[in-house]
């Protein structure tokens, strides 16, 4: 199960997040989203746990807990919405316009 963890301290590391979650069960991965310019976290990340029951326990116990001076936001991660490729969208619009123009000419 994939878990969202938000309101992270800017200097929090993946190792610290792993240590925070490991007492709840087996961790598959930890991914802290980093700001390329500053090298600090963007304030959120994801923890993937092997067992959904362990993940639910971690969510229940860690949500709103103070860690490094920040109250964590911990919840089941939602799937990321798919973004449409702008190039493909523009190409579809052009094709649709061409089809409409062709249909008008045939009438």
Domain of 57, CATH number, reads: 3.30.70.330
Q: Can you tell me whether residue 39 is helix, strand or coil?
A: coil
Strand-pair category, 2-6 with 41-49: antiparallel
Q: Flag whether the pTM goes above 0.85.
A: no
Flag whether 104 is in a domain: no
Residue 38 within a domain: yes
pLDDT per position as a tens digit, 24-64: 999 999 999 998 898 888 999 999 999 999 999 999 999 99
Residue 18 domain boundaries: 2-80
* Vertex 9: Cα angle to 8 and 15 (nearest 5): 80
Dist. CA 81–CA 11, nearest whole Å: 28
- Rounded to the nearest 10 degrees, how much is the dihedral formed by the CA atoms of 68, 71, 77, 82? -90
The total number of structural domains that make up the chain? 1
Q: How confident is the model at residue 76 (pLDDT cuts 50, 70, 90)?
A: very high
């Amino acid at each position: 199960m994939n878990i969202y963890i938000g309101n992270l301290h800017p200097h929090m590391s993946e190792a610290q997040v792993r240590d925070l979650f490991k007492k709840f069960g087996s961790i598959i991965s930890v991914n802290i989203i980093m700001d390329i310019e500053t090298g600090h976290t963007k304030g959120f990340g994801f923890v993937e746990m092997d067992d959904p029951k362990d993940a639910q326990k971690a969510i229940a116990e860690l949500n709103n807990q103070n860690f490094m001076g920040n109250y964590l936001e911990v919840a089941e991660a939602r799937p990321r919405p798919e973004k449409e490729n702008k190039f493909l969208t523009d190409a579809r619009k052009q094709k649709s316009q061409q089809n409409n123009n062709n249909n008008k000419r045939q009438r």
